A and B are shown apart, each in its own frame.
Chain A
């Protein structure tokens, strides 16, 4: 990072351009080229944001858990793993929020209500709250290693909620429909360009996640370095006092 003023590199800038282009194509496919649904009409277009958002949140929380596991199990316990875990958790919370908001809008237009205490909606809300708690636990203070240790344990517990959220529509009688692509019947229930737009959204949002993660974990590294510097200054000051 020597000689660099921000968190970007030429690679992240190129990735950012690809993400912007893909999101632009997604907007065109989702809002213009793809047809309306025979029952829902234009409401179906919300799906191109809603599904990729929760997909990205799943990836983000899985990344948080994997990095937390590596941090706890690795011999050197590098804080880089913890920073990636934390950054990924933050991005995951953002995408769950997007998924909840867009899902609520879709629910009002399709079900006739913004919210029901249905298994899928409730478990997703619980997931959201759990990871807000995870992010708060990271800010409780102590050394970086204390932060890494306690948040890693929490991340490994929180990831257990993902299968519960995903399979909630099968486990309980739910108002929310079952998956249209990754369902137990292995049958794709989307027509032509709808399916293409959805997959485009999944890829675009996944790349957006990677881009955000690269920047955020670098920003966290700078934050840690900044806070370490405060401690170093204090130690130096005391040593000078003791030596004087």
Chain B
């Protein structure tokens, strides 16, 4: 039998306790156990950024963290930050500027963008580009994404 650890975390404001296989990464847990399928799996080796989520307020790659490591942590996903409306301005700007096409990278891209929005009052386009350089988008030319984040940060 696979070894499990009883783990408790607060996901999008709700406390959950589960016996989690030690080797399961956090985004698999969110998707498979909790049905939070908004965090996507693009590479499972920490490069593409599609699984970017927030743990205790810091953005992390959901595929590079084991679910059991989130014991006692606060985990926020695209679903939670959409319902709380924290991402509302970014989502509106992304929509209006067509800063997404297939939408697969978008939840991770929004999480990364919100990290910059929270940290900075102003940012140059180069800084915005650098900040989202850990998130693959294969559809857009990144320009509309930069435009949208630019609008939210710099007004």
* Pairing of A with B: no
B-binding residues in A (CB < 8 A): none
Q: Which residues of B contact A (CB under 8 A)?
A: none
